[in-house]
Amino acid sequence: MDKKKLDYYYDLLYSTILCYQNTLTGLIPSSPNSSHAWVRDNVYASLSIWGLSLAYRKLPDVDEDRSRGYELEKCVVKLMRGILVCYMKQAEKVEKLKMNQDPRHSLHAKFDANNCKTVVGDDQWGHLQIDAVSVFLLTLAQMTASGLRIIWTREEVAFIQNLVFYIEYAYRIPDYGIWERGDKTNHGLPELNTSSVGMAKAALQALSDLDLFGADGSPLSTIHVFPDECQQCNTVLESVLPRESNSKETDAALLTILTYPGFSVTNEDLIKQTRTTVVQKLLGRYGCRRFIRDGFRTAREDSNRLYYEPWELRMFEGIECEWPMFLAWLVLDASFREDYDDADRYMQMLQDVVVRESGQACEGVNAVEKPMCRRASEVTSASTIQSVVLMPESYAVPAESIESELAKPHSQDRITKGSLPHIWGQSLYILSNIIYEGLLLPGEIDPLGRHLLTEPKPDLSVQVVLVAEDDDMKSYLQDLQIEVQTFDEIYNEAGIHIYPAKVLGQLYKQLGVCASLSLSGRANKEVGVLSTSQFYRLANQTMAFIPQFFDHHTFYLNLDVNFTLDCFRTCVAFLKRAWTSPGRPLLIFPVYHWFFRSDSSNTAQAHLRNTNTSYLISTIKKMATGYLNGTRSVHE
């Protein structure tokens, strides 16, 4: 490992990011002239600090290096706990949003870096940003898995559990998105954003069954997630991509879920399609536009107007600001894909648009393209070592160059706009460089292995267990040459208690209850088939649950045997497609007397009952063949 380069990035990190970290709260303000600290910016800032600490762990046991690694780790913990404190001060909002999803009850998107207090009112900002809360939880999970101890008490565990309940319905909650403005017309209207849904899915998967106390934890410090909510998010995600939302046909924010840190999409073809769409429609010489017709910070933007009519947005097309931090994201993406040609190309573009401390752009923006090279890279070493490199927030077309730019796209030189350095972008620049240079392997910043989710999985079989209501039903089925056990026999032989799904809903309602924070736990008692298809351990009791569609007390149509059997066959196929937990899914099929009973003397109804019985028996026997509805099934 090149220690000289590692020390350079440490100095760069300290002089551009850590120097702004508040001594008391650990938060990093957006600029030296403001005390406002955005949650999202702080989380992304923590990634470079954490990544550099992981790189220092790999060095030989030298006092100075060990000290730097320790310091960086504690800076990360301090920052993440600062965000946690800000959120915990708004615990009442978490409780309210779980109940009604009112944007006024959402956690704030930014806080005062000096005291963790709010800086704007509930109605004065688009605070409902599911992706900000989600990326915090995702990063918390990754850092915990790497060995950092960020959560210290049972109350904090309960709060994180409630944040899980806060984001688990992201697939149906319109929010203001990563750019905080809602729909493209800036009318302040929230909409369902794919990047928010994808980041929520990633956070839920990362936190599932994670012990926040690490190796020193217990079941009481473990976070529980409903896998059905993850699947709901995934369904919406794959249905909407490559779009970002109803008003945005694509968005550079999608890179956050295609690659690090989200890795939310598992369909390889959809990943390629979405990445190609983003690159073709948004990538320019200086970075990516946020989305098409984005007027933010352009020369034609009217700072006195808050809203634009849809037809007015056309005046921004072709002159949108370009954000260089997305070049760093593309470098990270190429590094995880081990596509070194793409990594070299995007790193060259990135080094061409960063700014030196003097404020002059690095040489190469208008130069002839340099030959590509492999890591350890001449691209980074030639332009960064012995200089302080700053990442600008965005590049805009000057007013006098607009007509020329519209006539010939990407032909005009641009000027920097916004913060310098841009904390969010600066962190991604450092992180992408230390990975590109080989100082850190991509998998080391993803200890949960989320980048491996696209790997092919073995064929899955669904384990179906027939359970007779009582001994009479068991004898009846045995006469039909169908071997089953009763509920009592399963308990006596295997010690497994089988309960209705509503019992699991009641148990989950107890998760996250914390009197000191006035948190009541999960509000919804609905339970999906993914949740009921696995064993649970409560104290010394092993528990299994009957899928909810068998419970006719929750929905009267479940009294229709044909409807119930169709639900069962659908669930078998669904489990094969959606199952991501270890092992194979367990689907309990109870056989009740009312499946066969006819309370009517009406001949037509009796005939219908006989038909239903025949359909039921044929379905059960079909399971015994080991193949049902296109899915391998194991009948036990």
506-533 per-position pLDDT tens digit = 888 888 899 999 998 888 778 888 998 8
Domain assignment of residue 94, yes or no:
yes
- pLDDT, one tens digit per residue, over 158-190 is 999 999 999 999 999 999 989 988 888 777 789
Q: Which among 396, 421, 452 is the end of a domain? A: 452
Share of the chain above pLDDT 70, in %: 88
Q: 86: which residues sit within 8 A by CB, 6+ positions away?
A: 27, 39, 108, 111, 116
Q: What angle do CA 19, 24, 29 make, to 5 degrees?
A: 50
- Mean pLDDT calculated for residue range 214-227: 90
Same domain, 397 and 509: no
pLDDT at 361 over 70: no
Burial of 209 (0-12, 13-18, 19+ CB in 10 A): exposed
Predicted pLDDT of residue 434? 94
Is the CB of residue 130 less than 8 Å from the CB of residue 167? yes
Predicted pLDDT of residue 101? 80
- Mean pLDDT calculated for residue range 540-555: 81
- Mean pLDDT calculated for residue range 579-597: 81
Predicted pLDDT of residue 194? 95
Domain assignment of residue 598, yes or no:
yes
Q: What angle do CA 180, 139, 419 make, to 5 degrees?
A: 45
Same domain, 132 and 244: yes
Domain assignment of residue 293, yes or no:
yes
Name residue 389's beta-bridge partners.
356
Among the listed residues 101, 41, 50, the one whose alpha carbon sits nearest the alpha carbon of residue 73:
50
Give the predicted TM-score (pTM) of the model. Answer: 0.89
- Mean pLDDT calculated for residue range 537-541: 85
Same domain, 432 and 579: no
Cα(204)–Cα(226) distance, rounded to whole angstroms?
8
Structure token pair of residue 340: 């070194």
- Mean pLDDT calculated for residue range 552-556: 63
Cα(128)–Cα(119) distance, rounded to whole angstroms?
15
pLDDT at 558 over 60: no
Cα(415)–Cα(399) distance, rounded to whole angstroms?
10
Predicted pLDDT of residue 360? 41
What's the pLDDT band for 382 if we cut at 50, 70, 90? very low
Q: What DSSP state is assigned to residue 486?
A: E
Domain assignment of residue 457, yes or no:
no
Q: Which among 423, 452, 481 is the end of a domain? A: 452
Q: What is the DSSP string of 21-62?
A: S-TTT----SSTT--EEEHHHHHHHHHHHHHHHHHHHTS-S-
Predicted pLDDT of residue 359? 40
Domain assignment of residue 374, yes or no:
no
Cα(174)–Cα(189) distance, rounded to whole angstroms?
9
Residue that wins the pLDDT comparison between 165 and 620: 165
Q: Which among 452, 476, 492 is the end of a domain? A: 452
Predicted pLDDT of residue 258? 95
Round the average pLDDT of the chain to a whole number and report it.
85
* CATH for 420: 1.50.10
- Mean pLDDT calculated for residue range 398-406: 89
pLDDT at 630 over 70: no
Q: Which domain, by its residues, includes 264?
A: 3-365+384-452
Chain length of the chain: 636
Give the amino acid at 460: L
Same domain, 448 and 482: no
Residue that wins the pLDDT comparison between 558 and 567: 567
Same domain, 555 and 491: yes
- pLDDT, one tens digit per residue, over 142-162 is 999 999 999 999 999 999 999
Same domain, 187 and 312: yes
Lowest mean pLDDT among 121-125, 204-208, 382-386, 565-569: 382-386
pLDDT at 394 over 80: yes
Residue that wins the pLDDT comparison between 510 and 197: 197
Domain assignment of residue 377, yes or no:
no
What's the pLDDT band for 376 if we cut at 50, 70, 90? very low
- Mean pLDDT calculated for residue range 68-75: 92
Predicted pLDDT of residue 611? 56
Same domain, 576 and 447: no
The domain total for the chain is 2
